[in-house]
Amino acid sequence: MSRTTQAPKGLRATGNFIDDRFHVAKSGEKNLRKVFPNHWSFMLGEIALYSFIILLLTGVFLTLWFKPSMTEVVYDGSYERLQGVVMSEAYASTLHIDFDVRGGFLVRQIHHWAALIFVASLVAHMLRVFFTGAFRKPREINWLIGIAIFVLAILEGLFGYSLPDDLPSGMGIRILQGVMLSLPVIGTYVSMFLFGGEFPGEDIIPRLYMLHILLIPGILLALIVAHFMILWHQKHTQYPGRGRTEKKVVGVPMFPAFAVKAGGFFFFVFAVTVAFSAFVQINPIHLFGPFSPTSITSGLQPDWYMGFMEGALRIFPNWFDFTIFGYAVPTGVLVPALVIPGILFTGLAVWPFLEAWITGDKRHHNVADRPRNAPVRTGVGMAGITFYGLLWMAGSNDILSETFSLNLYGTTWFFRFAIFIGPVLAFVITKRICLGLQRRDRATLAHGYESGTIQQLPSGEYIEVHKESPDEMVHVLRSKEPLDRTDTEDVDENGVEAPSARGLRGRLRTALAHWYTKDNVSFEGVEPHSGHHGQHEEIAPEQAETATR
């Protein structure tokens, strides 16, 4: 600390100018010193942020030429193949962006690729948070904000996809309208009001345009800002390791290291998006032709994030459609299009609260769980992924059927069964794997890791030499906490049930807590490299370290 470096005069002057007005030297330093834990999976959220920025930049560029109008025109623009064809102004203006604006084609492609990457990175980021338990107290609110961002991102993408008014994009709106009509009582009103009359009308694209470029991006921006302010305040979770405790976060400081790394990463994400846009054509609307409510091409695929809903619509049968007093309730539309996504998103939203209720865990958590150490959660997560993945695959059953020459209806039936069996299998298998890994962890902690070296003892016996695990590994292994379990406290010393365990709710909760924790492998009393199970004792990390020396 001997040398004090003076900032150059210009910088100092600017700094003083700002500080005179805002008094920010102290908080500024604190923020520049903010610590970012290191792990590749923390970059998933960054990808989402960067692709959102790319979407804003490219979206603004597109608005310079795009005309959100459904007025019919006869095309006489520069793309020869469609000259003389009747189309909406929206479609014609998109052709203009493609074939008259230099770089327009590219920017449209970047916008679309970035949208795909945006939603994909949101999903990946969300899964990371789920499987590591980073949604636990105190971060539940940020989890909910994340879900809201995810839902809005999907809507934003769907509406954007509908703007150019090409054949597939109009089909997306058509399906949207069909789903709206299925709503009991209000369906026809909702549809007539949103479309300004019957499908397709002349209003839907201007209205979606407003939602797409103003309302939803505005809300998204506000939510993203809130997400980051909360994150900044609560700080990141961190993976277990040396020195990383519930009280202290270890990592790279914002300035200078993280700023340069993250800046570089932004350019990488942008570069990859642009490279895709340059070399892999996406949504070539000039080949699809303008929307017409009377024609369609087979093998139509929505953007990937709508695939699960498409799949649900395909495999959900019409068996449960019913009428009530002569009014129709088409469950064959309602359930797959609204109820299933509703359950999926509601399930995601309530999970943190459900889990805390089951286990009775009211603690703050800053150190991430290793997925294996929460086998039921990890199993549920994998079951969810399997459910979603199967729906998503069912959304291209026609393509699967054609590619692998399968019977089309056969694929539908396959998915109708798989959607029930798959998630259960995924749960059971995942849980087994987690428990197996836990057992191996305990052995490694107690005996060191298997070195792969075989030794012959004087007695003639062969053994595999176990080496002492490195310090870091011991820290990671010891991060496993005993799972909280509410029902163990539910009986007092006289054997009387505590009030919390009584009644239907209490019993349900006890049963769930049992299910959540019953198979968990206990690490209690396992001393590093002790080779045997010692007596139960809380060991401070310091002592643990001495134990390894």
Partner 1 sequence: MTDNTTDHNKGEGAEGPDRVIGTPSSAEGDRLVASSADPHSEHEGPFPAEETHARPEEMQRKGEKVAAAWFTLAFLGGIIFFVGYFAFSSTEIAEPRIAQYSNVTLGGGLALALFGIGAGMTVWARRVMPHYDVSTPYDELPSSPEEKGSFGDFFMKGAAESGFTKRPLMRRTLLLAMAPLGLAPIVLLRDTGPLPGDTLKHTLWKKGMRMVVEGTEREGEATWIRAEDLGNAPGGMISALPYVQPTEEHPHGLSLNEQAKTVILLIKVGEDEWKPGMTEQQLNWTHDGIVAYSKICTHVGCPAALYEQGTHRILCPCHQSTFDAADGAKVVFGPAHRPLPQLPITVDDEGYLVADGDFSSPVGPTFWDVEKED
Q: Residue 24: what residue type?
A: V
Dihedral angle, C-alpha 95, 284, 111, 142, nearest 10 °? 130
CB of 493 to ligand HEM, least distance (A): 58
Question: Of 332 and 506, which has the nearer Cβ to partner 1?
Answer: 332
Dihedral angle, C-alpha 312, 315, 319, 322, nearest 10 °? 30
Question: Of 138 and 436, which has the nearer Cβ to partner 1?
Answer: 138
CA atoms of 503 and 486, how far apart (whole Å): 15
Q: Residue 248: what residue type?
A: K
Given a contact cutoff of 8 angstroms between Cβ atoms, the answer to whether 486 and 359 are in contact is yes
CB of 287 to ligand HEM, least distance (A): 12
CB of 155 to ligand HEM, least distance (A): 9
Tell me phi and psi for residue 243, to 5 degrees: 75, -5
CB of 514 to partner 1, least distance (A): 30
Question: Of 285 and 474, which has the nearer Cβ to ligand HEM?
Answer: 285
Contact between 294 and partner 1 (CB under 8 A)?
A: yes
Site residues (CB under 8 A) for partner 1, limited to 138-177: 138, 171, 174-175, 177
Contact between 52 and ligand HEM (CB under 6 A)?
A: yes
Q: What is the 3-state secondary structure (H, E, C) of 128-153?
A: HHHHCCCCCCCCHHHHHHHHHHHHHH
Q: Which residues contact 514 (CB under 8 A, 6 or more apart)?
A: 485, 487
Tokens of 113: 């690729």
* CB-based burial label for 367 (10 Å; 0-12, 13-18, 19+): buried
- Binding span for partner 1 by CB under 8 A among 142-150, 311-319, 441-449, 490-498: 311-319
CA distances from residue 549 to 468, 471, 544, 545 in whole angstroms, order as listed: 10, 9, 9, 7
Q: Residue 479: what residue type?
A: S
In the set 118, 135, 195, 288, which binds ligand HEM (CB under 6 A)?
118
- Apex CA 118: angle with CA 232 and CA 89, to 5°? 130
Tokens of 345: 């998103």
In the set 28, 41, 65, 79, which binds partner 1 (CB under 8 A)?
79
Residue 283 partner contact from partner 1, ligand HEM, none using kind-dependent CB cut-offs of 5 to 8 Å: ligand HEM
- Binding span for partner 1 by CB under 8 A among 266-274, 351-359, 383-391, 530-538: 266-274
Q: Residue 137: what residue type?
A: K
Site residues (CB under 8 A) for partner 1, limited to 112-141: 138
Residue 323 partner contact from partner 1, ligand HEM, none using kind-dependent CB cut-offs of 5 to 8 Å: partner 1
Contact between 33 and partner 1 (CB under 8 A)?
A: yes
Q: What is the CA radius of gyration of the chain?
A: 29
Residue 111 partner contact from ligand HEM, partner 1, none using kind-dependent CB cut-offs of 5 to 8 Å: ligand HEM
Show the binding pattern over residues 209-248: x = contacts partner 1 (CB under 8 A), - = does not.
------------------------xxx------xx--xxx
CB of 240 to partner 1, least distance (A): 14
Given a contact cutoff of 8 angstroms between Cβ atoms, the answer to whether 394 and 547 are in contact is no
Site residues (CB under 6 A) for ligand HEM, limited to 212-271: 212-213, 217, 220
CB of 105 to ligand HEM, least distance (A): 9
End-to-end CA distance of the chain: 33
Residue 55 partner contact from partner 1, ligand HEM, none using kind-dependent CB cut-offs of 5 to 8 Å: ligand HEM
CB of 111 to ligand HEM, least distance (A): 5
CA atoms of 315 and 411, how far apart (whole Å): 9
In the set 7, 64, 86, 491, which binds partner 1 (CB under 8 A)?
86
Half-sphere exposure of 278 (CA within 13 A, CB side): 6
CA distances from residue 278 to 107, 140, 174, 273 in whole angstroms, order as listed: 10, 40, 31, 9
Question: Of 30 and 439, which has the nearer Cβ to partner 1?
Answer: 30
Q: Cα–chain-centroid distance for residue 173? A: 25
Site residues (CB under 6 A) for ligand HEM, limited to 353-372: none
Q: What is the 3-state secondary structure (H, E, C) of 259-289?
A: HHHHHHHHHHHHHHHHHHHHHCCCCCHHHHC
In the set 133, 146, 164, 168, which binds ligand HEM (CB under 6 A)?
164
Residues linked to residue 450 through DSSP beta bridges, in sequence order: 466
Residue 412 partner contact from partner 1, ligand HEM, none using kind-dependent CB cut-offs of 5 to 8 Å: partner 1
Question: Of 115 and 383, which has the nearer Cβ to ligand HEM?
Answer: 115
Site residues (CB under 8 A) for partner 1, limited to 402-461: 408-409, 412
Site residues (CB under 8 A) for partner 1, limited to 3-22: 3
Contact between 286 and ligand HEM (CB under 6 A)?
A: no
- Helix-helix angle 340-359:503-517, to 10 degrees: 90
Q: What residues line the site for ligand HEM (CB under 6 A)?
A: 52, 55-56, 59-60, 62-63, 66, 94, 97, 108, 111-112, 115, 118, 153, 156-157, 160-161, 163-164, 212-213, 217, 220, 283
